[in-house]
Amino acid sequence: MRFLHNGCGPDREGEDAMTHQYKSARFDIDGDGIARFTMCKPEILNPLTDDLRDDFEAMVNTVEGNPDVKVLILAGEGRAFSAGGNVKGMAERKDAQAAQARTRLYDAHNWLQRLYNIDCPVIAAVDGLAYGGGFAFALVADFIFASEKARFCSVFGRIGLMPDLGVLYTLPRVVGMAAAKDLMFTCRSIDVEEAKALGIVHQIHRSETLMGAVDDFAARLAHSSKDAIAITKRTVNGAFESTYGDVVDAEANGQAVMFTTPFHKEAVRRFMAKEPSLYDWDRMTK
Amino acid sequence: MRFLHNGCGPDREGEDAMTHQYKSARFDIDGDGIARFTMCKPEILNPLTDDLRDDFEAMVNTVEGNPDVKVLILAGEGRAFSAGGNVKGMAERKDAQAAQARTRLYDAHNWLQRLYNIDCPVIAAVDGLAYGGGFAFALVADFIFASEKARFCSVFGRIGLMPDLGVLYTLPRVVGMAAAKDLMFTCRSIDVEEAKALGIVHQIHRSETLMGAVDDFAARLAHSSKDAIAITKRTVNGAFESTYGDVVDAEANGQAVMFTTPFHKEAVRRFMAKEPSLYDWDRMTK
Amino acid sequence: MRFLHNGCGPDREGEDAMTHQYKSARFDIDGDGIARFTMCKPEILNPLTDDLRDDFEAMVNTVEGNPDVKVLILAGEGRAFSAGGNVKGMAERKDAQAAQARTRLYDAHNWLQRLYNIDCPVIAAVDGLAYGGGFAFALVADFIFASEKARFCSVFGRIGLMPDLGVLYTLPRVVGMAAAKDLMFTCRSIDVEEAKALGIVHQIHRSETLMGAVDDFAARLAHSSKDAIAITKRTVNGAFESTYGDVVDAEANGQAVMFTTPFHKEAVRRFMAKEPSLYDWDRMTK
């Protein structure tokens, strides 16, 4: 384990001045390049407090562009992945100006948009409630693994808000317009089976085996070309609003770069030499 | 009942000069804020005549921005929701210039685009044929409830036309590109089960119970924040063609406004006081 | 049969100077307006060689704007529709500059984008592997018919490349964002049942009956208005990235033209005269 920033364990001495002190999440990167960001305020359902925002931002600062990270896993301790917005905080800020609310959202997107486009695959492990902002965090992941304990909810409208933290952007791209409106207008919660049927959840596992399944999946993804995943991810994330010509530009320029990568050159060498592939999911799953 | 503009009942005297005389639809807004627009030319399958266009436009003028309307229901009497374009009218206009056809479509979108983005949830109750323009009207609704009598068809190509009245915009966002091309190219009709599987239909009910189910659903939606629904709807309607940054702008500015609304403030107060929610679908459905 | 450009049969004498000599595909247009482009290098799994690129381009040059072509069928001989990129070619070009790789992709899109928007329906008949570029070719078709032998794979990432030939544009529009990332990141292959569930495959037929089913479907589509299909196709292809207003412009201008077409005028005449329709899928399927 190369990094350990444990915001929920016992106090540690001698923290490097450059090291963020995680308060509402644990963060580590293991020797296999798997980074884990685990929200760890289960007693209050991992709400989006200012501390958690700071932890997310610090994590993004560490992971983005970090060649040691191959896959990032987002998780939450206890019975919530994250219950989202901190209504108590809203109550305290109730006299704040609208302009401040606006600034808080732009501030959050400074790291959330970077997380959405971060240069490695991201898996959300949802073993409980993913409500509001918690739903938003799951939706910026590339894959959502969930257990029978998972429930998803675009809860914003229940308190007279619009969906935020990107849900209006991410959710329709996954479930289509009609289902997005259903979830956003009714603000009803859905269970894991419905979330799977809608395409939100990639795999369902029993709660006891969820993290093991996520770890196995991450270990496989870690064999991929980080460069190829990064450029594929950024391009597909913007694919719906892009014209054919926009995508051709991204593809032609991007692929030219990919042809220069050591991963590609080694993969071609192995192919010609009839050696085993660097990354072949079909064989890995056998 | 606050408004009653009955285009299909007996003639009424003393119509206010400002009141549109509905000819091909009935329109009313009840005391609970549920507006109902019911096409009422069943003997000719509720086609898109000039009269019906005028009725739609008048309805939009009344509903848009009207604080008394919480939910709008679109329905059709008889065995068609609406059979769409008026081929007889096309035959009569057959020598009209192409430029006039073009103008007629822009004229229709003057109210249809406003209806698509109107500031309350819209439910289409489809108890029969929704063909061509009738399919288009259903697709501008946020929710389609339908019975076993419903059939949907992008019928345009059968007479050598392209889909119009927004179907090229709305349908792919609901069903995806491949299914949209199937329906638009073959112009085959689909039954309610297939429409549900494609995501077009939100709920199926037996014909006898359809309107009751729509009324129940509307009554629940009427508890929501009209402001939050309005801004959510306009933003999600444009979500596919928007960049992440576009949506962030809409969200940050919009949410700042939502935080100032009485609905939000009361919802937060109730949350902190542990009082029942203003709008909680999960509890309402119990 | 009006055209015959057989790249895989015996040599033929007296080829017209204007006629492309097909080398890796057979191409013909039959008397019913059905064009067939069949990749015919089964022993090497129909890879995207320079010869095949030239054949595609020549075919597009012949089909585009050709009033004799009502439907285009893409197929592959043997156990692959197309295995896609020619890794051997990549190995040979391994010292080529990135700038050349970029140019090769722009060159391919010169005909691939035209094929995507070509003015007739396109059916891909997939009776084997559709991998990488082969998957891309299937995805530019409007309908994919496939047999139990079909397998689809966004194989690019296995050799450290990003998806190219438009897959980043076409695939998300068909399957949504989450499934697109799954297929692009894991590069796993999927069978025909999963491809149907994802919306990629329109119809599954047994291998022995696949081409017959494609021919029947093409024969039905050939009754449609070529003008209406062409304009519908180009507009829906760009629908996701278009605003409502963009689509209204395309629709208003396009429909004005459609009203002037002989097909439309004859269809209206038949409707008024209660004569059989020119194009009615529901009746054809009975």
Chain C residues closer than 8 Å to A152 by CB: none
Q: Do C169 and A244 touch (CB under 8 A)?
A: yes
Task: For chain B, report the end-to-end CA distance as a whole number of angstroms.
Answer: 29
Give the Å distances, CA to CA, from A241 to B132, B149, C135, C275.
Answer: 27, 37, 22, 44
Q: What is the Cα–Cα distance from B36 to A169, expressed in whole angstroms?
A: 31
Q: What is the average pLDDT across B161-183?
A: 98
Chain B residues closer than 8 Å to C260 by CB: 98
* C182-236 pLDDT tens trace: 999 999 999 999 999 999 999 999 999 999 999 999 999 999 999 999 999 999 9
Q: For A251, which residue in chain C has the nearest alpha carbon?
A: C164
Residue B17's pLDDT is 38
What is the sign, positive or negative, of the torsion defined by CA atoms of A194, A196, A197, A199?
positive
Q: What is the Cα–Cα distance from C24 to C41, expressed in whole angstroms?
A: 6
Give the Å distances, CA to CA, from A186 to A62, A180, B29, B199, B223.
Answer: 38, 10, 22, 16, 10
Q: Is it the case that residue C281 has pLDDT exceeding 60?
A: yes
Q: How far is CA A130 from the centre of its chain?
A: 12
Q: What is the Cα–Cα distance from A88 to A41, expressed in whole angstroms?
A: 15
- Minimal Cα–Cα distance from B275 to chain C, Å? 38
Which residue, among A170, A231, A247, would best test binding to C if mutated, counting the most C CBs under 10 Å from its CB? A247
Give the Å distances, CA to CA, from A153 to A144, A163, A218, C51.
Answer: 14, 10, 26, 53
Residue B233's closest CA among B156, B98, B168, B140?
A: B140
* Of residues B142, B224, B242, nearest to A157 (C-beta): B224
Give the Å distances, CA to CA, from A24 to A9, A45, A127, A263, B229.
Answer: 10, 11, 18, 37, 32
Residue C161's closest CA among A229, B246, A71?
A: A229
Residue C125's pLDDT is 98
Contact yes or no for C127/C147 (Cβ under 8 A): yes
Contact yes or no for B24/B76 (Cβ under 8 A): no
Q: Is it the case that residue B12 has pLDDT exceeding 70?
A: no
Q: Do A178 and B174 touch (CB under 8 A)?
A: yes
Task: For chain C, report the end-to-end CA distance as a whole number of angstroms.
Answer: 29
Homologous superfamily of the B3-221 domain (CATH)? 2-enoyl-CoA Hydratase; Chain A, domain 1 (3.90.226.10)
Residues 220-249 of C with CB under 8 A from B: 220-221, 224-225, 227-229, 231-233, 235-237, 239-248
Q: What is the average pLDDT across C55-83?
A: 98
Extended strands (E) in chain B: 3-6, 25-29, 34-39, 47-48, 71-76, 80-82, 84-85, 122-126, 129-131, 143-146, 151-153, 189-191, 203-204
Chain A residues closer than 8 Å to C169 by CB: 239, 242, 244, 247-248
| Both tokens assigned to C225 | 């208005």
The CA-based angle C108-C109-C110, given to 5 degrees, is 90
The chains found to touch B (3+ Cβ pairs under 8 angstroms) are A, C
Task: For chain A, report the end-to-end CA distance as a whole number of angstroms.
Answer: 29
Contact yes or no for A193/A146 (Cβ under 8 A): no
Contact yes or no for A157/A187 (Cβ under 8 A): yes
Residue B7's pLDDT is 64
Q: Is it the case that residue B264 has pLDDT exceeding 70?
A: yes
Q: Do C185 and A233 touch (CB under 8 A)?
A: yes
Residue A205's pLDDT is 98
Tell me which architecture the domain covering A226-284 has in CATH.
Orthogonal Bundle (1.10)
Q: Is it the case that residue B10 has pLDDT exceeding 60?
A: no
Give the Å distances, CA to CA, from C61 to C34, C110, C218.
Answer: 16, 11, 21
Which residue, among A227, A255, A286, would best test binding to C if mutated, counting the most C CBs under 10 Å from its CB? A255
Chain C residues closer than 8 Å to B173 by CB: 239-240
Residue C222's pLDDT is 97
For residue A73, what are the β-bridge partners?
A36, A123
* Of residues B98, B113, B163, nearest to C259 (C-beta): B98
Q: What is the average pLDDT across C118-137?
A: 98
Question: What is the identity of the amino acid at C229?
Answer: I
- Minimal Cα–Cα distance from A239 to chain C, Å? 6
Burial A91-108 (b: 16+ CB within 10 A, else e): eeeeeeeeeebbebbeeb
Chain B residues closer than 8 Å to C141 by CB: none
Q: Do A277 and C188 touch (CB under 8 A)?
A: no
Chain B residues closer than 8 Å to C264 by CB: 159-161
* Of residues B101, B157, B238, nearest to C259 (C-beta): B101
Residue C85 neighbours by CB distance under 10 Å: 22
Q: Beta C143-146 vs C84-85: how paired, if at all?
A: unpaired
| pLDDT band per the 50, 70, 90 thresholds, residue A12 | very low
* B195-223 pLDDT tens trace: 999 999 999 999 999 999 999 999 999 99
Chain A residues closer than 8 Å to C236 by CB: none
Q: What is the Cα–Cα distance from B156 to A120, expressed in whole angstroms?
A: 45
For residue B38, what are the β-bridge partners?
B26, B75
Residue A72's pLDDT is 98
Looking up tokens 């000819």 gives B23
A18 Cβ partners below 8 Å, 6+ apart?
Answer: none
Contact yes or no for A71/A225 (Cβ under 8 A): no
A185 in contact with B, Cβ within 8 Å: yes
Residue A6's closest CA among A31, A30, A32, A39?
A: A39
Q: Is it the case that residue C267 has pLDDT exceeding 60?
A: yes
Residue C6's pLDDT is 58
Residue B67's pLDDT is 96
For residue C45, what are the β-bridge partners?
none
* A89-143 pLDDT tens trace: 888 876 677 888 899 999 999 999 999 999 999 999 999 999 999 999 999 999 9
CA atoms within 13 Å, Cβ hemisphere of A109: 20
Q: What is the average pLDDT across B83-90?
A: 85
Question: What is the identity of the amino acid at C203?
Answer: Q
Chain C residues closer than 8 Å to B177 by CB: 170, 173-174, 236-237, 239-240
Q: What is the Cα–Cα distance from B57 to A229, expressed in whole angstroms?
A: 50
Q: Do A240 and C238 touch (CB under 8 A)?
A: no
Q: Which residue has the higher pLDDT, B157 or C90?
A: B157
Residue A196's pLDDT is 98
Residue B98's pLDDT is 83
A98 in contact with B, Cβ within 8 Å: yes
C112 in contact with B, Cβ within 8 Å: no
* A249-260 pLDDT tens trace: 999 999 999 999
Q: What is the Cα–Cα distance from B173 to B178, expressed in whole angstroms?
A: 11
Rounded percentage of chain C residues whose pLDDT exceeds 90? 86
B255 in contact with A, Cβ within 8 Å: yes
Residues 15-74 of B with CB under 8 A from A: none
Whether the predicted interface score ipTM is above 0.85: yes
Chain B residues closer than 8 Å to A116 by CB: 244
| Both tokens assigned to A266 | 């080694």
C135 Cβ partners below 8 Å, 6+ apart?
Answer: C84, C152, C153, C154, C155, C167
The full set of domain ranges for chain C reads 3-221, 226-284
| pLDDT band per the 50, 70, 90 thresholds, residue A86 | confident
Mean pLDDT of chain C: 93
Residue A2's pLDDT is 47
Residue C112 neighbours by CB distance under 10 Å: 24
Burial A18-42 (b: 16+ CB within 10 A, else e): eebebbbbbbbbbeebbbbbbbbbe
